[in-house]
Amino acid sequence: MQNYEYTAVPAPRKGKAPRKIKGNEAKFASIITDLMNEMAADGWDYQRAETLPCEERQGLTGKTVKYHTLLIFRREVVLKKPEEVASKAPPVVAVPVAKEAPEPELRPEPVFKRTEPEKKAEPASEGFMTADAKEAETSEK
């Protein structure tokens, strides 16, 4: 039984064709030919073209249906026989089992206590600077 994988490529709408080609139909055919030759070089076989609907947002709340044309390609997937896979598999080696690590000693959590009583903030004076800040400013000069 043959197995295939498929890929869908958006059909080109515009593209660069050589300048020597005249006419829209000839340019479009050249672009399609180049795409098919690129895919064939990677092992893909052309199957068909599909035009499928796709619901897309339009604005904030609106929806519209647009149609997209896709080119469908396939290539054969080579599956290995079970004998080939088994012969190429690395040999099974026994791994020594590690001893379990001893459980760590449980230490009690430290308890933190405040040693100094909390200072209550004094209301700010009329000016921006407190008396301590004024003294520090005058001592710096």
What does the domain layout of the chain look like in residue ranges?
3-78
Provide the percentage of residues in the chain whose pLDDT is more than 70. 64
Query: Alpha-carbon distance 9 to 68, whole Å?
Result: 10
Of 130, 9, 116, the residue nearest 68 (C-alpha): 9
Whether residue 109 contacts residue 50, with contact meaning beta carbons closer than 8 Å, is answered with no
With 0.75 as the threshold, say if the pTM is over it. Answer: no
Whether residue 93 contacts residue 99, with contact meaning beta carbons closer than 8 Å, is answered with no
pLDDT at 117 > cutoff 90:
no
* Residue, of 97 and 78, whose pLDDT is higher: 78
Whether residue 125 contacts residue 131, with contact meaning beta carbons closer than 8 Å, is answered with yes
Of 32, 73, 28, 70, the residue nearest 50 (C-alpha): 70
Query: Alpha-carbon distance 133 to 130, whole Å?
Result: 5
pLDDT at 122 > cutoff 70:
no
Res. 123 pLDDT band, cuts 50 70 90 = low
Q: Which residues contact 22 (CB under 8 A, 6 or more apart)?
A: none
Query: Alpha-carbon distance 13 to 118, whole Å?
Result: 77
The structure tokens 């599956």 sit at 79
pLDDT tens-digit readout, 23-72: 888 888 889 999 999 999 999 999 999 999 999 999 888 999 999 999 99
Q: What is the mean pLDDT of the chain?
A: 79
Average pLDDT over residues 102-106: 71
